[in-house]
Structure 1
Amino acid sequence: MSSPDEDFWGEADADGMRVRWLSDPARSSLRGRRLRRHMPATAADSGAWPDGWRTIARIWLKDARTEHTIRRDTLLRRAGAEHTNDALRLIRHLVEIGQLGVEERRAAHGWTAVGWHFVDPTGLRRTLGMEEPGASHRAWQALRAQPLDDDDLRDAAANLDEQPPRTAIARFGLLQALQRWRQAGRARSVATRRDFAYFARGDTKAISHAEWAWLDALIDVAADGIGAHQAILLMAGRMSLLGADGRIDCAALSGIVGIAADSLATLRAIENPPERWLVVENRSAFDHLARRLPRGSAALWLPGYPPLWWREVVGRLLVQAPAEAWIACDPDPDGILIAIQAGTVWREHGLAWQAWQMAPEQLAGLPHHRPLSARDKALAEQLLTTELPPALRALLDWIRDHNQKGEQEALFLPSPHVPTGPGT
């Protein structure tokens, strides 16, 4: 049974072409017009086409509509003069498989082609992996309606209204990622652009220079803990780090040592390794600890939520100097989650870790407390659903029961001490 469309078409000629008249076929006139095409159409195997054909087809199909006539000169001009031969071969191929119909007019010397039309441009676009005309604009409008919490993010989004839809979609995604970054408390960390790119798109190099320039012009990303410069690992101890081209004697420097994260990629060994790694989040607390470091221990500054660079560098240290960790973070919901994430680095290397200076009685004994924010409360409820070490579960219960949190700096004054057991 023929389709309704086929009912308008005549029988196939010797070349397999069928005719649909646009004028009265009974009248012999130089104004005669007709459409010719192979029917039924055969699906295009664009994967087998030469690269040049696929390039030309994408240009033609970008805004092609069903049975909308396109002049021959227009098709060739869009393909480019240097691709004329490929364009003519592609036209012939598309006609042969019924994906391109030809409009003809009667001339003094017979019928002549005046234009072509795509029979199924949607299907061709699908085989070429193209989106439909206007799809990006519609997707951008839908995305633009999604809310952003902060004024600077909303202002940056307004700037995108003047951008091409695909650019706007990609950059709005960065604003959404920055919003998630803030909601997750990552502004409390010291991260690199590679860290944010990994957070936003799952690839440390996925944000282009142009996108960073756009973000820098509109957003103070440094205020969100995202640095443009080389990450520096702060540490203290009596060990010596041996690399491919030299050594760093931390003991000789007596105090805090800052080492570019990338320089530790060539770490080969650690002499006089520590028996214990003391990991401290609060920078002032770390400074106090580094000046009075207990014998047999080394200290690492934890820059808030452990960024990718920190996890990688500390992992290299643990390969050469495996030892347990005592981790001290601010006694608040974020601090609990930060400690867990930092402890994961030790667990992944088969090493033990424990919370340090994070006992409920230590929080209770602080001279100053602050009430929990709405975000603190939400994070505390989220932590309740996870498996926590007993010491951190006890701290979380105290925080929720008293609706209070604190900062760890006071716990390291006037002098730090090494506890005799976990949770103290």
Structure 2
Amino acid sequence: MPEEIRIEPLDQRKVCLRRKRYREQLPQQLGHIPVEWRELLARWVRRGGNSRWETLRNDAGVTGIQLAQSLLDWLLREGWAVVVEQRQHGDWWPLSLELRNLPQLRAALGLSDKAQDAQHWQTIREELKVFCDNCLTPALLALDELPPHRALARYDLIAALKHWQDAQKSGTRRDFALAARDDTKGVSEAEWNWLEQTLDLAEFRIERHTPLLLISASLTLTLPRGQLDLSIPPDFSALTPATLKSVTAVTGSIRHWQLVENRTSFERVARQREQDVGVIWLPGFPPSWWRVSVGHLLDIVPAPAHLACDPDPAGIAIALKAAELWLERDLTWLPWKMSATDLAALRVRKRLLDTDRLLITSLQQESALPAPFLELIGWMLEHDEKGEQEGYL
């Protein structure tokens, strides 16, 4: 009611040019208001609760000026706002608006409070820190860099990753989203991007799509529903981890396995392989699904390995990681097409980066580094260059 609204002059002049209007009694319940008002009011609250009227009016858009004015009048009348007005052209015009009783207003609109969010996040963080292991620590630190309300919106993904890991689950992104939020599309693209930048999702057995092991070999696989002859395709076959896991027997023999990192090089080698040689694509640092699949294959068809990766520090590290599968089974392995001579013969080479030098320092601490790798490291350091196997393989 107009008579209940207080008016305070803000100028010590004979003719006041600025004034403040408000109701003395603070409101407690927002009550039912039109949906359009709620949406606009929520935008105003998110601005912090004290803004210039011109800014708030612009939030409503060109077609919503009357909507904004109606909402301002209602907020003033109900006691939710303090309005500062300026006298111009013989009339009073809104200059700024300060919202009152913000905690209750945020609660009524379903908006979070920054202070409460910060306190809630610290509580949640302590709970996460208790059960997060080393592989999830980067994600926990990344959450600390986010505003509390966003960290709270994403912490459940870290908890879900922990449960996924403990249960030794594997699957696609949609499988994880269903497990985490009961919705195959429940994880947004922005959240997936954040997870990928923070963690190696392959280590948690989460792939964009069902991963495929690319292989070329003269083998016939026996599965519960029949047999699969890998020698039929002229180049290579693509097998899912589930397919390889269900293999119970294999007909044929392998003299040695050739593992090739570069995809183009793999395809060339696969087409030109010898009859008793098997070729497997090594997709960079071997993810867990690849290690499990190749490990199962080695248990059935054990044979030495020739490992071919890029002649650079990362290539050496990748080869050593893949070789662990053979060492675990007391099978031999050798570097293949990774010599200093191969690197020197490349027409195009690249300069070493600081990260390459750091990795070389780490590799030099390996106790049983094969002689070809020692020679390759020596050449790289001497010439300050590295290469890619696609140039010669």
Q: TM-score under structure 2 normalisation?
A: 0.55
Query: Aligned partner of 2:387: which letter?
Result: G
Residues 140 and 168, structure 1, Cα contact 8 Å, conserved in 2: no
Q: Deviations over 1:231-286 (max 9, x none)?
A: 10100021111112211111112211001111111111111121110000000000
Partner of 1:10: none
Change (3 A) 1:384 1:238: same
Q: After the TM superposition, which residues 4-403 of structure 1 pair with which residues of structure 2 at under 5 Å, given as runs?
A: 137=122, 140=125, 160-163=147-150, 204-205=168-169, 209-210=180-181, 213-214=186-187, 216-220=189-193, 227-387=207-367, 388-403=369-384
Work out whether residues 214 and 238 of structure 2, in 8 Å CA contact, stay in contact via their aligned partners in 1.
yes
The alpha carbon displacement at 1:313 in A equals 0.8
> SS where residue 363 of structure 1 aligns?
helix
Cα pair 1:233 1:261 within 8 Å, conserved: yes
How far 1:210 sits from its partner (Å)? Answer: 3.6
Q: Secondary structure at the match of 1:258?
A: strand
The reply on whether 1:404 has 2:377 as its aligned counterpart is no
Matches of 1:161 and 1:219, distance apart in 2: 19
Cα deviation per residue 1:357-410 (whole Å; 9 max; x = unaligned)? 000011011111111112111111111111211111211121122211100012
Residue 242 and residue 139 in structure 1: after superposition, are their counterparts in 2 closer, same or farther (change >3 A)?
A: closer
Measured in 1, the distance between the counterparts of 2:344 and 2:201 equals 29
TM-score scaled by length of structure 1: 0.52
CA contact (8 A) 1:160 1:168 kept: no
Deviates more, 1:398-407 or 1:154-163: 154-163
Whether the 8 Å contact between 1:243 and 1:266 is mirrored in structure 2 is: yes
AA in 1 matched with 2:392: L
Mapped contact 1:399–1:405 kept (Cα < 8 A): yes
In the alignment, is the contact (CA less than 8 A) between 1:326 and 1:356 conserved in 2?
A: yes
Distance 1:209 1:160, change over 3 A: farther
Name the SS for the 2:231 alignment partner: helix
The whole-number CA distance in structure 2 between the counterparts of 1:202 and 1:378 is 33
Contact between 1:275 and 1:324, CA under 8 Å: does it hold in 2? yes
The whole-number CA distance in structure 1 between the counterparts of 2:321 and 2:214 is 18
Give 5+ residue unaligned stretches, structure 2.
1-117, 129-139, 171-175
Q: Tell me, yes or no, if the aligned pair for 2:310 and 2:389 is still in contact at 8 Å.
A: yes
Shift of 1:228: 2.2
Distance change in 2, residues 1:403/1:274 (3 Å) = same
Maintained 8 Å contact 1:277/1:297: yes
**Structure 1 Cα separation of the partners of residues 151 and 373 of structure 2:** 49
Aligned to 2:102: none
CA spacing shift, 1:369–1:332, aligned 2, 3 Å? same
Structure 1 residues 281 and 253: CA distance shift in structure 2, 3 A = same
Instruction: Tell me the percent identity.
Output: 29
Q: CA offsets per residue over residues 198-236 of structure 1, 9 Å max, x none?
A: 8x9676449752499446333436797853221101000
Would you say the 8 A contact 1:250–1:257 is kept in 2?
A: yes
Give distance in 1, aligned partners of 2:124 and 2:343.
49
CA distance in 1, matches of 2:289, 2:154: 29
1:156 to 1:214, Cα distance in 2 relative to 1, 3 A: farther
Deviations 1:176-207 (A, max 9, x none): xxxxxxxxxxxxxxxxxx9xx58x96764497
Cα distance change on mapping 1:234 and 1:303 into 2, 3 Å: same
